[in-house]
Amino acid sequence: MDLYCVMGNPVTHSKSPWIHARFAELTGQTLHYGKRHIELDGFAPAIQAFVAEGGLGCNITLPFKFQAAALATDISDRARLAQASNMLTFKDGAILADNTDGVGLVNDIGRGAGIDLSGRRLLLIGAGGASAGVLGPLIRAQPASITVANRSIDKASALVERHAALALLHKTELLAHGLQGLDGTFDVVINATSSSLNGAGVPVSGSTLKAGALAYDMMYGPAAQGFINWAREHSAVARDGLGMLVEQAAEAFLIWRGVRPPAQQVLAELRALMSCQA
Ligand code: ATR
């Protein structure tokens, strides 16, 4: 049996095994996808053990995405730019690191929310690992501009600087900003901060939302609820990150198995399942 898994800490509530099992079922693939809780100082040995068992690939979740990129023998351009990896592929003794988080986000905005990002004004809130994972693919979608707004502006500036050449190539204006005093309104506002996990509110003003804007939180479930409520209060179209989770998994599945699974169908099924469980 072809073996895959997700590794993280915590990993108990990961939806990835269910998503990949459903992809396999719908595309007629035979594989086993499990989940492994990894001790914080045990990532490298866990990878070695999985490879020794014949594992072909794994998804990596928090807090190991940076270690995964550093451990790899080969790294994709997008994972290098993100300095983080959410998927490893094991082949002929090599460890290939890639990152499908950003393309997952872009695909969910396109296919799920029905929005073409080209020519739009984007606001990306946050400049930590979550933002770094998606900024490159957002630029490749060729919006008119992306403003990266962060509490500590030096982190936003560093992220913008690292992506400046890519932005120039795609004719996207890329700006770093603080959380206050943002100019004008935005077509799409993406929350990539962990502020809700700390019990804090949405860290930017509702006046950043253009009428009918898409307000997207990269988290899902209770962690996204505050942002979703805020978006609705300001008449924006609210969307959580469950679709991003399914779309990043679909990209990984495509890379591993050579078949694109029906991600938005699986997303609808997962939402129905989660609302039954709630
Ligand atoms: P992740 O990997 O989830 O992105 P991270 O790298 O620790 O986690 O980044 C967390 C992000 O949320 C950062 O942009 C952080 O802002 P700072 O860089 O200024 O720390 C942001 N963040 C966390 N709590 C916040 C709050 N209460 N208000 C505003 N931004 C917050």
Chain segment 125-155, per-residue pLDDT in tens: 999 999 999 999 999 999 999 999 999 999 9
One fold for 2-99+243-277 and 115-240: yes
Q: Where are the beta strands (DSSP E) in 100-253?
A: 121-125, 145-149, 173-177, 186-191, 209-217, 237-239
Instruction: Tell how many helices (H) and how many strands (E) occur in the chain.
Output: 11, 12
Average pLDDT over residues 53-65: 96
Q: What CATH architecture applies to the domain 2-99+243-277?
A: 3-Layer(aba) Sandwich (3.40)
Average pLDDT, the chain: 96
Q: In the numeric block, which tokens belong to residue 145?
A: 């501009």
For the chain, the straight-line distance linking the first and the last C-alpha, in angstroms and rounded, comes to 33
- Alpha-helical segments (H) within 147-259: 153-162, 164-169, 222-233, 242-257
Q: Supply the pLDDT for residue 267.
A: 98
Beta carbon of 200 within 6 Å of any ligand 1 atom: yes
Ligand 1 site, residue 203, Cβ cutoff 6 A: yes
Per-residue pLDDT tens over the stretch 184-196: 999 999 999 988 8
Contact indicator for 155, 88 with CB cutoff of 8 Å: no
Return all residues near 270 (Cβ < 8 A) that are at least 6 apart.
Answer: 15, 18, 19, 22, 242, 246
C-beta of residue 134 within 8 angstroms of C-beta of residue 102: yes
Q: Which atom of ligand 1 is nearest to the CA of 130?
A: 4
- Give the residues across from 91 on adjacent strands: 94
**Beta strands across the sheet bearing 186-191:** 173-177, 145-149, 121-125, 186-191, 209-217, 237-239
Q: Find the length of the chain.
A: 278
CA atoms within 13 A on the CB side of 16: 26
What is the structure's pLDDT at 259? 98
Instruction: Please state the domain extents for the chain.
Output: 2-99+243-277, 115-240
Q: What is the pTM of this model?
A: 0.96
Identify the band that residue 53 occupies on the pLDDT scale cut at 50, 70 and 90.
very high
Residue showing tokens 């073996």: 3
pLDDT at residue 278, rounded to an integer: 61
Give me 136's structure tokens: 């490159």
CA distance 76 to 187: 30
Tell me which architecture the domain covering 115-240 has in CATH.
3-Layer(aba) Sandwich (3.40)
Nearest CA to ligand 1 atom 11: 193
Residue 277 has pLDDT above 90, yes or no: no
Q: Tell me how far the alpha carbon of residue 159 lies from the centroid of ligand 1, in angstroms.
A: 13
Span 84-112, average pLDDT: 97
Residue of 65, 91, 155, 210 marked active site: 65
| pLDDT attached to residue 12 | 94
CB 76 within 8 A of CB 103: no
Both tokens of 167, joined, read: 């932005």
Is 15 among the residues known to form the active site?
Answer: no
- How remote is the CA of residue 229 from the centroid of ligand 1, in Å? 20
Q: How far is the CA of 194 from the centre of ligand 1 (A)?
A: 5
Residue 48, both tokens = 């070695």
